[in-house]
Amino acid sequence: MKTTLIFAGITECGFDSFGKTMEGSWISHGLCHLSACAKEKGFDINLIDLRKLKGWEHFREKIKEEKPDVVGLSMMSVDYDYVVKCARIIKEEMPDTKIIVGGPHPTILLDEVKEIKEFDHIIMKEAEISFVELLERIKNREESERIITGKMPDLNKLPFADRELFGQHEIPISDFLPEPFVTLIAGRGCIYNCSFCQPAERKIFGNKVRRRSVDNVISELKFLRNKYNFKSMMIHDDCLTEDKEWVKEFCRKYKEEGFIQPFVCQSRADIICKHEDMVKELKDAGLVTFLIGFESGNQRILNFLRKGTKTEHNFRAAEICHKLGIKIWANYMLGIPTETKEEAMDTIDMIKEIKPYHCSPAFFTPHPGSDLYDYCVKNDLMIMQKHSSYRRNINIEEPKIKGIDYVYLQKITYESLDYSEEAENRIKFTKKIKPLYIILGKRLFRLMLKAKDILLKEGFKSFLFKTKEYIFTRI
């Protein structure tokens, strides 16, 4: 029995994008774990990655070529339309092929997903155990329910993610991280109660954080070092640093095993302030960047978001990072319900003072399953008509909720980008290429200076690449 997994997450990057951008290169750990678990039980698994295809006709040809007996699809809310279209094309070509769908969106909005008749089976929550059990029943021609609640696995007993499914080649999130670059997930769940996220995450992963043992994570890193000789990595947990003792044990064993590869992880401002000693140990072990959800520079808005932090935490955390030489990837939101222009400017002023390495702003998006999504529905604030609008961006052509001056927000958001270290690097670069001003002409040069959209989405490395590509193909 042949099973094909399909990666349909191309809302951000589109078709024919594999390996060309960060979004076009990162692996889906969910699909990789499904593949590893199924292969461990002897199933034949392969992948169709829409990022490697030219378009829908190419997909149709590919699915006819593969002729799978079973297809597995993972659905994020933002990729709903792509997943549904994949399923419909499959059923048009091979009506007898069984289609299994899972992921966050079916877990949160089951009523919407179960209306799609092409989905033969829907797995909610975590799927590693239930997916393999379902494959066994399909193989044995046994009846199975359409809607299945996934069983919660012991993360230490799962096989390592099957990265070969995607042909492991991930592009680093920052230009200073050397390749090969890998991403790794050490745990699932989040203990915090931010209103823009919860209770959706608890519905998927449960009320507690489940983290793999340090030894299990180190074993995977040793495997990755031997197989890919990786030079940098990112631990992709929602908040790796919430368990201080786990982090300290990891730092000690990471160094004991001879790892010198720099790494990146996510943290919170209040944790950085409370546990500066732990942050120092992370730095000594190889941490080069913290992704920090500052979210807002206004205390009323932080309270509204149930962030559980103070504005003082944001500033103090930045001081600690700068002192220790840790780069800051600053995540922050604008366009939050009830937010005034003055409160939005507090966030911009915060970014100016924090001086992060990278600015990562976004317009607030009401995500299904979150309390703020329910708030927006209850108060008739929703504007979004398409699932693709759940993407994280600052595009005024894709407004999220009513009562927000998105033109104003985009203006001040673009201004905030100039406060980053990356912006300073960009200015230095443009000074170096100033002699090209005469060759390229005034208009193009100005466009290059204003190419903040590229910086925002893909970072300084992509900006340099695309600018050089443009220049050297035209002179």
pLDDT tens-place string over residues 319-344: 999 999 999 999 999 999 999 999 99
Note the helical H segments in 48-152: 56-66, 80-93, 104-108, 110-113, 128-139
Q: Say how far apart CA 114 and CA 184 lie, in whole Å.
A: 32
pLDDT in tens, 209-254: 999 999 999 999 999 999 999 999 999 999 999 999 999 999 999 9
Whether 472 shows a pLDDT value over 50: the answer reads no
Mean pLDDT, all residues of the chain: 93
* pTM of structure: 0.89
Please report the pLDDT score of residue 428 as a whole number.
Answer: 72
Cα distances from 10 to residues 51, 391, 409, in angstroms, run 7, 11, 26
Domain coordinates of the chain in residue numbers? Answer: 2-156, 172-419, 425-472
CATH topology of domain 172-419: TIM Barrel (3.20.20)
Architecture of domain 2-156: 3-Layer(aba) Sandwich (3.40)
Q: What's the pLDDT band for 175 if we cut at 50, 70, 90?
A: confident
Q: For 273-313, how does the pLDDT look when each residue is reduced to its tens digit (9 = 90+)?
A: 999 999 999 999 999 999 999 999 999 999 999 999 999 99
Banded pLDDT at 461 (limits 50, 70, 90): very low
Dihedral of alpha carbons 311, 316, 321, 327, sign: positive
Number of C-beta neighbours around residue 99 at 10 A: 23
- Taking a C-beta distance cutoff of 8 angstroms, is the pair 132, 103 a contact? no
Q: What average pLDDT does range 424-449 have in this prediction?
A: 62
Please answer whether residues 148 and 130 qualify as being in contact, where contact means their C-beta atoms are separated by less than 8 angstroms.
yes
DSSP-assigned letter for residue 387: G
Q: What is the pLDDT of residues 24-81, one digit of tens each?
A: 999 999 999 999 999 999 999 999 999 999 999 999 999 999 999 999 999 999 999 9
